[in-house]
Chain A
Amino acid sequence: MKKSWQVVLAGEGGQGLILAGRILSEAAIMDGNNVSLTSSYGIAARGGYSEAQVVISEKELYYPRCASPDLVLALTREAYDRYVDFVNNNCLIIYDSNEISKPKGKQEVGYDFKDALLTLGNLKVINSLFLGVVLKNCEIVSRESIISALKKNMPPKILDINLKAFNYGLGA
């Protein structure tokens, strides 16, 4: 497992990006790391650009933002455009293939989130789904820790569908 990670979860308000950032951060703490989680959002409750940035390290963290992301999840065109020219060539971009039709050919993985959500039958579980997709591509935290963090953060009545979405994203 890599010693430190800079992860950007970017999209729009209402997609649960910041909650997903919390879940990822709590999992990283369970794995024994230091974590900083910052978020950026507008004044609207739904829509508008929104992102969570998670920095994970065994060392003390000074700069709490992602100076050089290792992974960017881009759920909207705006999110993709913000990062595609900013990141270096070692960064993996996971994008929603419904939103981005012509990727620029860096290290990029497209994922059809819409199709997966329709299969799952619940559009609200997008954050658990993308956490699975992220973890499938990068072993940022242990699977056990993410599941514990999901259990801690999700209300009991929606836990099962979120675990299902996470596992679906993971391909498990």
Chain B
Amino acid sequence: MSRPEGIQLMEGNHACAWGAIDAGARIFAGYPITPSSEIAEVCARELPAYGGIYIQMEDEIGSIAAVIGASLSGKKSFTATSGPGFSLMQENLGVGIYQEVPCVIVNIQRVGPATGLATKPAQADIMQARWGTHGDHSIIALAPATVEEMYYLTIRAFNLSERFRIPVILLGDQVIGQLYENIKLPDPESLEIVERKKPVVTPEEFYPYQPDENGVPPMAAYGDRHIVHASSTCHDLTGFSNFKAQTNRALLTRLKDKIYNYTDEITDVEHFGPDDAEVTLISFGASSRVCKYVVGEAEKEGIRVNLLRLISIWPFPDQVVQEALGKTGAVVVAEMNQGQLTGEVNRVNVTNTPVHLASGIDGELISPDIIMTGIREAVK
């Protein structure tokens, strides 16, 4: 099978794999797990034809280690997993963040904790994506809601990871990962693809962690004339360990600022429905599709509802959510967990707008009824 042409029925996971290939990813290292395995399947089949490599590792710890190593060697690399595998990746995810390694981790969420419901959907790794690895850190996470977005957000995930030198999480869910929809892949030539910034100074003048004006250091690859030194302990501009207080403070501050000073650039949301509404739904991923359907259902009951869909989840779009809270009578957060995003919405709720949770934890796509119940409660 080669790259699908024309309008196709395509699975979300396949679209993700093609997005990665079109973004320039040439290394996939992973350990197949439902409901993400089709990403590994497509990579195993297709990457060699692009001069790439598929590596099936012994587990997810090895998988992300291989991804980090491949990226430090100059290749765009990624992995795909689900809850249990994402848990195993957390330690090395921190290493990737600390060493500023561009890479993409696809997490097609399923019901947990532990083995949970292996084939059933959830959106309960929101906080794990943010804080699963220890220590102060930043992260970028994107949440696709369609098969088409599985393709385009995978590309955006690579672009952001290269631009900011950070692992990016594509936070899908079983519904979208294994959903089939019609899609037409674009001409790869028409895509905007970001490549990491290479050193512009001589090898003698080069420090591997000397940031540019955006706080992001240009990056050499293993084997280049410029030195690469990656350490998982606190390091200075040279990349060598340095335990001074000011080095630690400067590094942690820069790693935060290089993302949070660019929240506006990273933030991606969709406003759906009427501008003014009695109730605003806030949602993401598969749940947000149900919300769009519910906007129409609520209108039939005479309730004006709109939707703020978060396409980027982390860094949390504080300002956009604050504005939405200030413009509406009440908010219903629809999510397939017990309120992880709701907590974030409440954190920025300076207007004390009533916030309700519509929680879908049945191991199924959240039902329109659950969201409608939340809306009815909100307008009581």
A residues near B (Cβ < 8 Å) are: 21-22, 25-26, 29, 33-43, 61-65, 67
Complex Cα gap A43–B35 (Å) = 11
Question: For A34, what are the chain B residues with a Cβ–Cβ distance below 8 Å?
Answer: 181-182
Question: For B178, what are the chain A residues with a Cβ–Cβ distance below 8 Å?
Answer: 38-39
Stretch at the interface among B23-31, B64-72, B286-294: B286-294
| Shortest Cβ distance from residue A37 to the other chain B in the assembled complex, whole angstroms | 4
Does the CB pair B368–A67 fall under 8 Å? yes
Does the CB pair B182–A29 fall under 8 Å? yes
Complex Cα gap A35–B146 (Å) = 12
Does the CB pair B292–A62 fall under 8 Å? yes
Report whether over half of chain A's contact residues are helix, strand or loop; otherwise say mixed.
Answer: mixed
Question: For A67, what are the chain B residues with a Cβ–Cβ distance below 8 Å?
Answer: 293, 368
Question: For A33, what are the chain B residues with a Cβ–Cβ distance below 8 Å?
Answer: 182
Question: For A65, what are the chain B residues with a Cβ–Cβ distance below 8 Å?
Answer: 365
Closest chain A residue, CB of each to CB of B291:
A62
Does the CB pair B293–A22 fall under 8 Å? no
Does the CB pair A36–B292 fall under 8 Å? no
Complex Cα gap A42–B118 (Å) = 8
Any chain A CB within 8 A of the CB of B104? Answer: no
Question: For A29, what are the chain B residues with a Cβ–Cβ distance below 8 Å?
Answer: 7-9, 182
Question: For B180, what are the chain A residues with a Cβ–Cβ distance below 8 Å?
Answer: 21-22, 25, 35-38
Question: For A26, what are the chain B residues with a Cβ–Cβ distance below 8 Å?
Answer: 9
Any chain A CB within 8 A of the CB of B47? Answer: no
Complex Cα gap A25–B292 (Å) = 22
Does the CB pair B118–A43 fall under 8 Å? yes
Question: For B289, what are the chain A residues with a Cβ–Cβ distance below 8 Å?
Answer: 62-64
Does the CB pair A63–B293 fall under 8 Å? yes
In the assembled complex, 22 residue pairs joining A and B whose CB atoms fall closer than 8 Å, in A order, are A22-B180, A29-B9, A35-B9, A35-B181, A36-B179, A37-B9, A37-B179, A38-B175, A38-B178, A39-B178, A41-B119, A43-B34, A43-B119, A62-B289, A63-B290, A63-B292, A64-B181, A64-B286, A64-B289, A64-B365, A67-B293, A67-B368
Does the CB pair B119–A42 fall under 8 Å? yes
Question: For A40, what are the chain B residues with a Cβ–Cβ distance below 8 Å?
Answer: 119, 364
Known: A37-B181, A38-B178, A42-B119. 15 other contacts (CB 8 A): A22-B180, A29-B8, A33-B182, A35-B9, A35-B180, A35-B182, A37-B179, A43-B34, A43-B119, A62-B293, A63-B290, A63-B293, A63-B368, A64-B179, A64-B181
Complex Cα gap A29–B6 (Å) = 11
| Shortest Cβ distance from residue B211 to the other chain A in the assembled complex, whole angstroms | 43
**B179, B180, B182, most chain A CB atoms within 10 A:** B180
**A21, A61, A63, most chain B CB atoms within 10 A:** A63
| Shortest Cβ distance from residue B91 to the other chain A in the assembled complex, whole angstroms | 28
| Shortest Cβ distance from residue A115 to the other chain B in the assembled complex, whole angstroms | 32
Complex Cα gap A25–B10 (Å) = 10
| Shortest Cβ distance from residue A59 to the other chain B in the assembled complex, whole angstroms | 11
Closest chain B residue, CB of each to CB of A30:
B7
Complex Cα gap A64–B292 (Å) = 11
Question: For B179, what are the chain A residues with a Cβ–Cβ distance below 8 Å?
Answer: 36-38, 64
Complex Cα gap A38–B11 (Å) = 9
Question: For A41, what are the chain B residues with a Cβ–Cβ distance below 8 Å?
Answer: 119
Question: For B364, what are the chain A residues with a Cβ–Cβ distance below 8 Å?
Answer: 40
Question: For B8, what are the chain A residues with a Cβ–Cβ distance below 8 Å?
Answer: 29
Complex Cα gap A21–B178 (Å) = 13
Complex Cα gap A41–B110 (Å) = 13
Question: For A22, what are the chain B residues with a Cβ–Cβ distance below 8 Å?
Answer: 9, 180
Question: For A35, what are the chain B residues with a Cβ–Cβ distance below 8 Å?
Answer: 9, 180-182
Complex Cα gap A64–B118 (Å) = 21
| Shortest Cβ distance from residue A67 to the other chain B in the assembled complex, whole angstroms | 6
Complex Cα gap A114–B310 (Å) = 49
Question: For B9, what are the chain A residues with a Cβ–Cβ distance below 8 Å?
Answer: 22, 25-26, 29, 35, 37
Complex Cα gap A69–B221 (Å) = 55
| Shortest Cβ distance from residue B244 to the other chain A in the assembled complex, whole angstroms | 52
Does the CB pair B119–A36 fall under 8 Å? no
| Shortest Cβ distance from residue B339 to the other chain A in the assembled complex, whole angstroms | 22
Residues 268 to 302 of chain B near chain A (Cβ within 8 Å): 286, 289-290, 292-293
| Shortest Cβ distance from residue B310 to the other chain A in the assembled complex, whole angstroms | 16
